[in-house]
Structure 1
Amino acid sequence: MSGSTKENGERLEQALARLNFKPRSLGPGHVWLAGAGPGDPGCLTLEVLAALAEADALVYDALVSPDVVAVAEGAELFFAGKRGGRPSMKQDDITALLVRLAREGRRVVRLKGGDPYIFGRGGEEALALARQNIPFRVLPGLTSGLSALAATGIPATMRGINKAVILATGHAAGTDDDLDWAAIARTGQPVVVYMGMANLPVIAASMLEGGLAPSTPAAVIVAATTPQERIVVATLATIAEEAAVAGLTSPALIVVGGIVAMRAALAGEA
């Protein structure tokens, strides 16, 4: 270990000691629904880090990085990842697994990318645990829809540009269960779309029909905060084509609105 690295480690330990952080204990038979943030282990909260160290059963999603999973050294691992269009564990089976592990007296952490309550089905799992009288707790995480923007130089809010941010799922675009993208477009506020890559052409076309200008800035962000991070910036009229040419695939976030243009301005490119 180099001298500077050792000194940095010592400073971190001292800072944690000054913080006087006292984590709650994860009890047997309890389930904690935790958010792992957007990907970088540095985005973990202290509470989630402490919970992983205590867990003896970890049920984790595909968006959780191996480095974060490795923190739960004493836990039995249960992969519950979901990928659109690929075989994956059904939600009812995941919930049943959480209930079973809790009733076995295990210390269970259910780890999700981002935040459990932002398009992570954490609310469904919490409700199921409550109905089964399983003690649970929710540990917030940095939601990818906001932290990915910050990591790639896009401010989620900017005076003079927006007064709100809309978080939406694009999973059902083009179906009877779809959102009214035209109505969302008419708000004039930036939109951050989760799970929308497969439907990006439909979403972009619907927002254009809703009145957004073809020149409206748009971006697709893949694997934010990780070494695999990629971003394509274009316009609403061209973002679907440019993302396809770049080979961007799920999981990704789509951002539409004037805030996207701030990326170039902050980088001194505009």
Structure 2
Amino acid sequence: MPEAPLLELAKVTLRFGGIQALSQVSFTLREGEVAALIGPNGAGKTSVFNCICGFYTPQEGEIRLRGTRVSGLKPHRVARLGVGRGFQNIELFGTLSCLDNVLLGRHLHVRAGVLGALFAPRAWWRDETAQRRRAEELLELLELQPYRNFPVLALPYGVQKLIEVARALASEPRLLLLDEPTAGMTAEEKDEMMFRLLRLRAELGITLLVIEHDLRVVSRLAERIIVLDYGVKIADGPPGAVQRDPEVIRAYLGDTRLAEVSA
């Protein structure tokens, strides 16, 4: 029997009153895959993320993670099943240090609560040490150690975006959803982010689904591209096939193809 895909969307439909945000959207992701979700503004990309994470519940269809239905579950339960997320706009605590922001992402793995701190201080300290050790490992992996004690607001924008990735990774997800991780970056910062994300896939074995508007980034980062237009999936395949798809050219790229953009 073939192994179930890591993520499966089956005919997912999402409506807000009379507005249909998603219509019968279906796709799967294999373990370790790097895929990009692209489309014009309003195509439904973020709605897909919100459905996967449990922020929205689709009216029709199913979302399964390793064969287990997650559509309709609360966000914290989806996170516990192995889904992490980074947002389009930076959602960090600006006055806290880089390290403290990453530690906040460890909340799913904290074992000792308030009572543990009061009545079992040795166990609490062991747990605290373990959480800090893992946070430090993530800072090392993303080369963020030089910024560990700086408040986030004092750091460059590109570094802040990396910290947000580190915080999302702190929950130890198997599937990482990133919403425009290179938005607002310089070309050099984008190249650095692509390098970091591909390194994460190689070293941690995680699966990446990335919303991205920069087609140069898409063509170099993703091995597969899923295209939405007005909530409908119109293409799904490797960059070479997607760039030649007439529907993609019409809906998203006009007369410009991925290969020309990435040249």
- Which structure's residues are more often strand, by fraction? 2
| Structure ID, larger Rg | 1
- Which structure's residues are more often helix, by fraction? 2
TM-score normalized with structure 2 length: 0.27
TM-score normalized with structure 1 length: 0.26
